[in-house]
Amino acid sequence: MSDAQQLSDLLLQAGDAGTVVFTGAGVSTESGIPDFRSAGGIWSRYAPIDYLDYLRDPELRRESWRRGLHTYPPIAAAAPNAAHLAISDWWHHGLLAGVVTQNIDGLHQRAGVLNDAVVELHGNAHWIACLSCGRRFDRATVHARVIAGDEDPSCPGCGGILKATTVSFGQSMREQAVASARHLHATTRLCLVIGSSLVVYPAATLPEVTLDVGGRLAIVNYTPTHLDQFATLVSRQPAAVLLADAQGLVSGAFRQSA
């Protein structure tokens, strides 16, 4: 049995809202967004800036905004690939309870999954927030200020520090996001991991929650993970290729049952 056939069978067996999809950088690299950890990734070019250092040091904030001039445009220009579109299709067919993602690119929403159905563990790069008053701004607006020479842009309302709504080193993930993700993983019958090596904690523990409640696990990732031995399906195929094939099989099964 092919990986695509096995994946489609698992999704259909899990049934209505029976699957949670957990995605990492590997689902978006095929959209041209570089990952963080691999050779040639973002962290091989830029050392991470700790959250507390960002708060205390204006020069590190200026450096962060300078980096954003190079790192944000590929995210802004990226389009969903076949993997994102397959996930969206399954969500619209009622197979998915939701999507939990480590990605900050918003491509699941651009593919058509409603924002309320996506849990962004590490935040979203398309928004900027004031750390004092909480006001939010479109990233493109603040990006334009930096291009125009505002090296450390502040909140136009209260003068507070601005920061992308992404989770930095040393910054805690939002408690609500973690709680929502754990609930999804604890109440579904299948966890489908796509494009994550499951090395970033505590996010990497979430698929274990599904296993702990008796659910099944499927992993689509180029490299091995520590949970491969517990997975019903492990595939090293490119996510966009495998998910597109599985989408076709799932759609065919729906047509036959109609």
User: Which residues are designated catalytic?
Assistant: 122
Beta pairing class for 162-166 and 123-130? antiparallel
Region for 106 from its dihedrals, namely left if φ exceeds 0, alpha if ψ lies in -120 to 50, beta otherwise:
left
CA 66, 175, 239, 111 dihedral sign is negative
Write the single-letter amino acid at 62: R
**Two structure tokens written together for 115:** 């924002």
- Distance, in Å, from the CA atom of 222 to the CA atom of 238, rounded to the nearest integer, reads 7
